[in-house]
Amino acid sequence: MSQEDTFKKIISHAKEYGFIFQSSEIYDGLSAVYDYGQLGAELKNNIKSYWWKSMVMLHENIVGIDSAIFMHPTVWKASGHVDAFNDPLIDNKDSKKRYRADVLIEDYIQKIEAKIDKEITKAQKRFGDSFDEKQFRETNPRVQANQKKIDDVLLRFKTAMENDDLAEVKKIIEDAEIACPVSGSRNWTDVRQFNLMFDTKLGSVNDDASTIYLRPETAQGIFVNYLNVQKSGRLNLPFGIAQIGKAFRNEIVARQFIFRMREFEQMEMQYFIQPGTEKKWFETWKEKRMKWHKALGNDESNLKFHDHDKLAHYANAATDIEFKFPFGFKELEGIHSRTDFDLGQHQKFSGKKIQYFDNERNESYVPYVLETSIGLDRMFLAVLSASYKEETIEKEDGKKDQRVVLAIPPALAPIQLAVLPLVKKDGLPDKAREIINTLKFDFNCHYEEKDSIGRRYRRQDAIGTPYAITVDHETLENNTVTIRDRDTMEQNRVKIEELPEILRSKVSLNSLLKKLEN
Ligand code: ATP
């Protein structure tokens, strides 16, 4: 199955089972805005808890806040977003479609990369075990020519962006003969800068002074509260402030499902540190964040760091944690050493002193900041795409069958336990409900009595429920049930009274959080 097909399947699976719906679908939808359905909301909440607890509960010196979406407009002047939060956009005159110039170039590069990959796969087959990919890349003329094309375009684009040379960006698109995917033409407008912030008016006075923005990142809510939190919490450096909340960006090209949305959620943590210690903390947080991802049992080859060559105006070191989405490796999380840029800017624009008195050093200074910033929706997509599996299985009668299973890490699964009476009679439903009534305070349980037991198992597999118990006639005799494991499909008979312990050891967030401590 091609990667594109897998991605399409994941999207329709997410809709079919109530994870994600297009926003306002009955009105034909709103582009790049999505709603989380009944199972999606559960999964999203579990990811949030995992992140929040790993930050706030596991670190004595990290606290969490919840700041407002609306902020004073000067915040965005100070942060640089009013002047510099732009994307280069270009329109195709025939299709009237708008694109991000950098994305067009990125897609062009990806196509060439795909050609290189094809050559490599072909050669791998031909040479078998003796194949040396590095040597092949360095010597094969076709691969070399394609790699040169990529390097040339990347260098030209990087230089053009650094020099703010939008005419050159257009020229790159023309020289690469990039055509509009819709009209197929190369009839492009000039490239312009486009600010990504949504604005709106505060109150009833419709003048410039009342223009406010929907925050494009949650981080600024943390910076402007730095002093409040530090003083009221009597916190000493280093300490962190974490926050989960909505952010809004008027993305020019919104595509790839929930990867790039116009309304999305971020989980950000700003770690305030002594100037000069930023390299150490950068390494520490890189390691900690990667550990957080790997604790989910993610295939290690799905994750990698990508260090930035071109740093944002506020950063002196930056890396992305990239995840192998169905459409390739893309940014999932950013880790940035932001120096004293943000607090310094707010100090300047507000005229208020934003400093820390360091008893050890006996001096005051503006703290440095190390940031970790992850998109909740992107994390959701990462979990969903890593867990989607189509399997051929053998039934008891020896026949083959297909199943779709979401192998979601048990601690994040929307439903943790399905309770299934074998038949709808003989008191089995009552017994099943009795079991749920004792477990529902600790676990998200789901009762289902419709259809054959086999079909019910399939449905639970498809929504990622890690355990299903079946209540049968033997249950009434000796208070035992069969418990079925989603991944192995093995069934064991256990005592009802053992269920809380079994579940706790396998599906609780604690088991996941403990992995972070080792
Ligand atoms: P990209 O280069 O993909 O646009 P970015 O570098 O602008 O992302 P940051 O400003 O570093 O992103 O934001 C931090 C995190 O927020 C990203 O790593 C990503 O997970 C998430 N994020 C950013 N923009 C979006 C979006 N439009 N939709 C969903 N998540 C987003």
Q: What is the tens place of the pLDDT at every residue in 14-45?
A: 999 999 999 999 999 999 999 999 999 999 99
User: Mean pLDDT throughout 230-259?
Assistant: 93
266 lines ligand 1 (CB under 6 A): yes
CA of 266 to the centre of ligand 1 (A): 8
User: Mean pLDDT throughout 328-337?
Assistant: 95
116 lines ligand 1 (CB under 6 A): no
User: Mean pLDDT throughout 267-283?
Assistant: 96
pLDDT band at 300 (very low <50, low <70, confident <90, very high): confident
User: Mean pLDDT throughout 489-510?
Assistant: 94
338 lines ligand 1 (CB under 6 A): no
User: Mean pLDDT throughout 489-507?
Assistant: 94
Pocket test for ligand 1, best of 103, 378, 381 (most atoms within 8 A of CB): 378
Pocket test for ligand 1, best of 331, 335, 377 (most atoms within 8 A of CB): 331
Q: How large a percentage of the chain has pLDDT more than 90?
A: 81
User: Mean pLDDT throughout 433-453?
Assistant: 95
Fold for 409-517, please state it.
Answer: Rossmann fold (3.40.50)
Q: How large a percentage of the chain has pLDDT more than 70?
A: 98
Which residues have C-beta within 8 Å of that of residue 277, sequence separation ≥ 6? 238, 368
Answer whether residue 218 shows pLDDT above 70.
Answer: yes
Q: Whose CA is nearest to atom 9 of ligand 1?
A: 334
CA of 331 to the centre of ligand 1 (A): 7
Q: State the closest ligand 1 atom to the C-alpha of 320, by its place in the atom list counted from 1.
A: 18
Q: Whose CA is nearest to atom 2 of ligand 1?
A: 331
Q: Are 273 and 237 spatial neighbours (Cβ–Cβ below 8 Å)?
A: yes
**pLDDT at position 208:** 58
Range(s) of the chain covered by CATH 3.40.50.800: 409-517
Evaluate the omega torsion of the peptide bond into residue 238 and state whether it is cis, within 30 degrees of 0: yes
Give residue-wise pLDDT tens across range 155-168.
999 899 888 899 99
Q: Whose CA is nearest to atom 11 of ligand 1?
A: 334
375 lines ligand 1 (CB under 6 A): yes
Residue 303, SS3 per DSSP: strand
Q: What is the rounded end-to-end Cα distance, in angstroms, of the chain?
A: 38
- Look up residue 58 and give its two tokens: 């596991």
Q: Whose CA is nearest to atom 25 of ligand 1?
A: 260
Range(s) of the chain covered by CATH 3.30.40.230: 86-195
Which of 249-258, 402-411, 473-482 comes out lowest in average pLDDT? 249-258
For the chain, helix (H) and strand (E) counts, in that order, are 18, 23
pLDDT band at 291 (very low <50, low <70, confident <90, very high): very high
Give residue-wise pLDDT tens across range 389-403.
999 988 778 888 889
Give residue-wise pLDDT tens across range 100-111.
999 899 889 989
Q: Are 90 and 193 spatial neighbours (Cβ–Cβ below 8 Å)?
A: no
The CA distance from 389 to 462, in Å, is 9
**pLDDT at position 157:** 92
**pLDDT at position 185:** 95
Give residue-wise pLDDT tens across range 112-121.
999 998 999 8
- The architecture in CATH of the region 1-71+196-397 reads 2-Layer Sandwich (3.30)
469 lines ligand 1 (CB under 6 A): no
264 lines ligand 1 (CB under 6 A): yes
251 lines ligand 1 (CB under 6 A): yes
User: Mean pLDDT throughout 426-439?
Assistant: 95
Answer whether residue 204 shows pLDDT above 90.
Answer: no
88 lines ligand 1 (CB under 6 A): no
Answer whether residue 498 shows pLDDT above 80.
Answer: yes
Length of the chain, in residues: 518
Q: State the closest ligand 1 atom to the C-alpha of 261, by its place in the atom list counted from 1.
A: 28
Answer whether residue 205 shows pLDDT above 70.
Answer: no
293 lines ligand 1 (CB under 6 A): no
**pLDDT at position 1:** 65
Q: Which CATH number fits domain 86-195: 3.40.50.1970, 3.40.50.300, 3.30.40.230, 3.30.300.30?
A: 3.30.40.230
384 lines ligand 1 (CB under 6 A): no
333 lines ligand 1 (CB under 6 A): yes
pLDDT band at 209 (very low <50, low <70, confident <90, very high): low
Position of tokens 């992140």?
51
Q: Are 223 and 80 spatial neighbours (Cβ–Cβ below 8 Å)?
A: no
Q: Whose CA is nearest to atom 22 of ligand 1?
A: 375
Range(s) of the chain covered by CATH 3.30.930.10: 1-71+196-397
CA angle 468, 424, 469 (to 5 degrees): 10
CA of 375 to the centre of ligand 1 (A): 6
User: Mean pLDDT throughout 445-455?
Assistant: 94
Amino acid at 347: Q
